[in-house]
Amino acid sequence: MGLKKVILHRKNALFYKTMNGAQVGDLFMSLIHTCELNGVNPFDYLTELQRHAEEMARNPAEWMPWNYRETLARASRSRSETGPAP
């Protein structure tokens, strides 16, 4: 199944209009494949990255597909201990 995705991505890559577009497409394909290898739903992962963009920018290593769930759990525990925002 993994090889099929690589071949499909290679075919789709023929239609990128710019080198920057190709790099962005490759980045997202790599993230999606890494999510799948780690048993993570890629859509949920990318959604959480968007929701927690500031935290991710401060410490990107904690937001990798293989450990972002633990980071989310820690963040929700710390929010519940401090209470709701005013």
pLDDT at 34: 92
The number of folded domains in the chain is: 2
Are residues 32 and 2 part of one domain?
yes
Residue whose token pair is 């999510």: 35
Per-residue pLDDT tens listing for the chain (86 residues): 566 776 666 677 777 788 888 888 888 888 998 999 999 999 999 999 999 999 999 999 999 999 999 999 988 887 777 765 55
Supply the range of the domain harboring residue 57. 41-81
Are residues 23 and 6 part of one domain?
yes
d(CA 84, CA 13): 45
d(CA 37, CA 40): 8
86 within a domain of the structure (yes/no): no
54 within a domain of the structure (yes/no): yes
4 within a domain of the structure (yes/no): yes
9 within a domain of the structure (yes/no): yes
Are residues 53 and 25 part of one domain?
no
d(CA 32, CA 45): 9
- Max alpha carbon distance in the chain (Å)? 51
Model pTM? 0.74
Are residues 45 and 19 part of one domain?
no
d(CA 72, CA 70): 5
